[in-house]
Structure 1
Amino acid sequence: MKLLDLKYQTILSESQRQAHPKTEDIELCLRVLSLASSINRASSTVLNEFGLSEGRLVLLFLLSRQPSGLSPALLAEQAGVTRATITGLLDGLEQQQLLVRQNNASDRRVLTVKLTEAGKELSEHLLPYYIEWLSGVFSHVPQDVRERLSNLLSRAMQSDSKGEIKIEKPLSHTVPGTMQRSYMV
C-alpha cells in the first residue's frame, strides 16, 4: 500500500536525511496531503465519465436549485471561485449544452445563467450517483474509526475567522533576504 505520493516521499526523505526533530509530524501532514490527492484523482476520474470537473459539477448543483437562474457573479460567490474562473467554467458547460446565458429583457447588462433540459437531467441523475460515490470512499473504515478520524481532522483544522489553516512560520530557520518573496513576508 502506497502511503505517500512520490513527491511527498521525496520531501519526507529529505526531512529524515536532515534529522528534523518533527519528522513524524511532517510525515503525518504529507500522508493527509497524499490521501487528499488520491481522493481528488479518483473524484476526477468519476467526473470525467460525464465530461465534468469538480467546479462544473458544483455549478450544475447550484443552478439545479435555482430554476430561474443566477447571475455569473452570484454563481462565483456561491461556488467560492473568482469571476475569471466562473467565466471558464460557464464556457465549458455552455459548450456541453448544459446551460444557457440569457440577457435580461429589461436590462441587457444583466445576465442570467440557467440549466438546459440536458443540464437538468444530468444534474438530477448525477447528484445521487456522485453522493453515493463520496459516501463509499471511507466505507471500508469502521464507523467508530470514521467518527474518530472526523473529530481528529476537525481538531487539526486550526482555522482563523475565514476558515483557513493558520500558517505559522518556522522560528528556527530564516530565509536570506534575496530569496524572500512577498508571500513569505
Structure 2
Amino acid sequence: MKLLDLKYQTILSESQRRAHPKTEDIELCLRVLSLASSINRASSTVLNEFGLSEGRLVLLFLLSRQPSGLSPALLAEQAGVTRATITGLLDGLEQQQLLVRQNNTSDRRVLTVKLTEAGHELCEHLLPYYIDWLSDALSHVPQDMRQRLSSLLSKALQGNETPEVKVEKTHSHPLPGTLQRSYMA
C-alpha cells in the first residue's frame, strides 16, 4: 500500500535522515498532500473524459446558474482565478463550443459570456455524474471515520478564512549570500 507519493517519500526520508525533531508532523502534512494529489489526479482523469479541466468545469457551473451570462472579470472573481487565467479557460471552452462571448449592443467594451445549448446539456449531464463521483471518492473509508476526518481537517484549517496555509518567511534559515543573489533576485 502506497501511503505517500514518491516525491513525498523522498522529502520524508530526507527529514528522517537529518533527524528533524518534527518528522512526524512532516509525515502527516505529506500524507495530506498525497491524498489531495491522488484525488486531484483521479478527478482530472474523470474530467478528461469530457475534455475538461477543473477550472473549465467551475466556469461551466458558474455560467449554468446565470442564463443572462457573466463578464469575464466577474467569472474570474467567482472562480478564484486571475484575469489572465480566465482568458485561457474561456478560449478553451469557446473552442469546444460550450460558450459564446457576446459584446453588449450599447457598449462594445462590455463582454458577456454565456453557455451554448451544448454547454447547458453538458452541465445537466456532468453535474450529477461528477457529484456522484466525488461522493464516492472516499467511500472505502467507514462513515464514522469520514466524519472524524472531516472534523479533523476542519480543525486543521480553523482560523483561516480560506483553506490556505499561511507561509511566513522565517529569518532563522536565511539563504547563503550566493543563493540569495541568484534565486531571490
Is TM > 0.5 for Structure 1 vs Structure 2? Answer: yes
Relative to structure 1, the CA distance from residue 43 to residue 161 in structure 2 (aligned partners, 3 Å threshold; closer, same or farther) is closer
Aligned to 1:141: 141
* Residues 5-48 of structure 1: per-residue CA shift (max 9 Å, x gap): 11111101100111111111111101100110000000000000
* Residues 125-164 of structure 1: per-residue CA shift (max 9 Å, x gap): 1000000000001111111111110111111125445553
Aligned to 1:93: 93
SS at match of 1:20: coil
Relative to structure 1, the CA distance from residue 163 to residue 33 in structure 2 (aligned partners, 3 Å threshold; closer, same or farther) is closer
2:175 alignment partner AA = V
Aligned to 1:129: 129
Relative to structure 1, the CA distance from residue 34 to residue 97 in structure 2 (aligned partners, 3 Å threshold; closer, same or farther) is same
* Residues 45-104 of structure 1: per-residue CA shift (max 9 Å, x gap): 000000000000000000000000000000000000000000000000000000000000
Aligned to 2:81: 81
Aligned to 1:52: 52
What TM-score, normalized to structure 1?
Answer: 0.92
| 1:72–1:111 CA contact under 8 A, matched in 2 | yes
Unaligned stretches of 5+ residues in structure 2: none
SS at match of 1:179: helix
Taking only aligned residues, the RMSD between alpha carbons, in angstroms, comes to 1.9
Aligned to 2:154: 154
| 1:159–1:166 CA contact under 8 A, matched in 2 | no
Aligned to 2:176: 176
| 1:70–1:113 CA contact under 8 A, matched in 2 | yes
Q: Whole-Å Cα distance in 2 between the matches of residues 105 and 170 of structure 1?
A: 53
91-100 or 146-155, which moves further after superposition? 146-155
2:20 alignment partner AA = H
2:117 alignment partner AA = E
Unaligned stretches of 5+ residues in structure 1: none
Aligned to 1:66: 66
Matches within 5 A, 1:105-120: 105-120=105-120
| 1:102–1:111 CA contact under 8 A, matched in 2 | yes
Q: Whole-Å Cα distance in 1 between the matches of residues 24 and 168 of structure 2?
A: 18
- Do structure 1's residue 14 and structure 2's residue 19 form an aligned pair? no
2:147 alignment partner AA = E
Identical positions, percent: 86
1:139 alignment partner AA = S
